[in-house]
């Protein structure tokens, strides 16, 4: 039925109701269902976005109330769109914006609040800078800044502290100095957009850890409370392994087998950290860190071997793991 709806149908309904009606709601709900499937595949609980449970009706109502009506975006779409596909694209954006606005924690705001004073300390000032540059320079600048952010040394997440700092103060100051030196014309819009893009690769795993362990069991994957039950228990999910599943689902399962500390070790190793640096992050001696690194890499190898997939498939899964962790990137190129 949805495929038969035309832009004329939506326009006529809007004119009749002086606003979005049931046809608009059906379009929004369909887009919400698609977005919810994406979030579920990543293992993200609804609580991160302020909902009790994933429900397309609830999300659609929020999009309509907060974005289409509350910010008059329905009127904007009605006035500016000429075809149904364009309308659906804009409605999809409104679903994404709604989830972004409701996300807990909002790590972009958190990092920006810590970065902005250091930018000013380094000599940056927002005065006189355009919020956007239509010449296309912004896109290139944002891409370069994203690469720099992904290469920054990240702090270990602190579990229940939802706004746990993502980067150390000295790291942010060094980053701020790079921005002022290389991109002195960068506006707040450019830097915040780069942050949002880069943190999209890092935040899913962080957000899961921040909410707690209630969502960590996933099709038989053990949570942190079962870490002493042995490797066999940790690999139970392999019994029901389906090679046709999305790579992100497999990568998520690998991370859950590794648990928080193992995932942190993989992140640090992929980021090129030394054994001493990993020991400092874990808060243990170098000797203990070496043992934990070896144990983690052995578990990772066993997990991938248990999938009984080829080397190419395992590589793709690990690349997805790196994307989820925001690690394994050197000068914007994924480390294989």
User: Would you call the peptide bond into 105 cis, given omega within 30 degrees of 0 as the criterion?
Assistant: yes
Q: Where are the domains of the chain?
A: 2-102, 107-202, 224-334
Q: What percent of the chain has pLDDT over 90?
A: 27
Give the model confidence (pLDDT) of 164-180 as tens digits.
Answer: 567 888 889 999 999 99
> Does pLDDT of 102 surpass 90?
no
Report helix angle 286-306 to 311-325, nearest 10. Answer: 130
Top-confidence residue, 207 or 141: 141
Instruction: Count other C-beta atoms under 10 Å from residue 67's C-beta.
Output: 20
> Does pLDDT of 308 surpass 80?
no
Contact 115, 191 (CB under 8 A): yes
At residue 220, the pLDDT reads: 27
Q: Which of 331, 290, 41, 325 is nearest to 166 (CA)?
A: 325
Best mean pLDDT range from 11-25, 158-172, 233-247, 268-282 = 11-25
Best mean pLDDT range from 106-120, 126-140, 156-170 = 106-120
Least confident range of 27-36, 105-114, 138-147: 105-114
Indicate the pTM of the whole model.
0.41
Residue 329, classed as helix, strand or coil, is strand
Tell which phi-psi region holds residue 159, choosing left (phi > 0), alpha (psi between -120 and 50) or beta. left
Distance of CA 200 to the CA centre of its chain: 3
Rounded Cα–Cα distance for residues 302 and 252 (Å): 16
Rounded Cα–Cα distance for residues 220 and 233 (Å): 9
Top-confidence residue, 78 or 109: 78
CB-based burial, 87-119: b 16+ in 10 Å, e otherwise: bbeebbebbeebbeeebebbbbebbbebbbebb
Rounded Cα–Cα distance for residues 32 and 91 (Å): 10
Instruction: Count other C-beta atoms under 10 Å from residue 323's C-beta.
Output: 21
Residue 333, classed as helix, strand or coil, is strand
The mean pLDDT of 157-161, rounded to a whole number, is: 42
């Amino acid at each position: 039925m949805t495929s038969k709806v035309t832009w004329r149908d939506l326009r006529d309904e809007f004119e009749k109701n002086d606003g979005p009606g049931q046809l608009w709601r059906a379009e929004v709900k369909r887009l919400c269902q698609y977005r919810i499937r994406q979030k579920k595949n990543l293992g993200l609980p609804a609580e991160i976005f302020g909902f009790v449970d994933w429900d397309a009706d609830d999300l659609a109502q929020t999009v309509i109330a907060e974005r289409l009506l509350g910010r008059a975006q329905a009127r904007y779409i009605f006035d500016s769109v000429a075809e149904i596909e364009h309308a659906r694209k804009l409605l999809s954006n409104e679903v994404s914006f709604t989830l972004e606005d409701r996300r807990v924690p909002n790590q972009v705001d958190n990092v920006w609040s810590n970065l902005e004073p250091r930018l000013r300390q380094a000599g940056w000032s927002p005065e006189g800078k355009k919020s956007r540059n239509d010449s296309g320079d912004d896109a290139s600048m944002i891409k370069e800044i994203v690469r720099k952010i992904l290469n920054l040394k990240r702090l270990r997440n602190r579990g229940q502290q939802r706004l746990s700092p993502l980067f150390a103060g000295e790291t942010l100051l060094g980053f701020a100095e790079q921005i002022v030196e290389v991109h002195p014309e960068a506006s707040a819009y450019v830097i915040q957009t780069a942050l949002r893009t880069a943190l999209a690769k890092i935040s899913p795993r962080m957000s899961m850890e921040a909410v707690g362990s209630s969502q960590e069991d996933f099709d038989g994957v053990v949570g942190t409370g079962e870490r002493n039950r042995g490797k066999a228990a940790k690999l139970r999910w392999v019994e029901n392994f389906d090679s046709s599943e999305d790579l992100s689902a497999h990568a998520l399962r690998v991370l859950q087998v590794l648990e928080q500390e193992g995932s942190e070790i993989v992140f640090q190793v992929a980021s090129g950290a030394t054994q001493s640096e990993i020991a400092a992050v874990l808060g243990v001696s170098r000797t203990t860190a070496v043992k934990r690194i070896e144990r983690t890499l052995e578990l990772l190898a066993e997990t991938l071997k248990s999938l009984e997939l080829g080397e190419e498939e395992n590589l793709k899964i690990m690349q997805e793991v790196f994307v989820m962790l925001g690690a394994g990137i050197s000068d914007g190129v994924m480390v294989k």
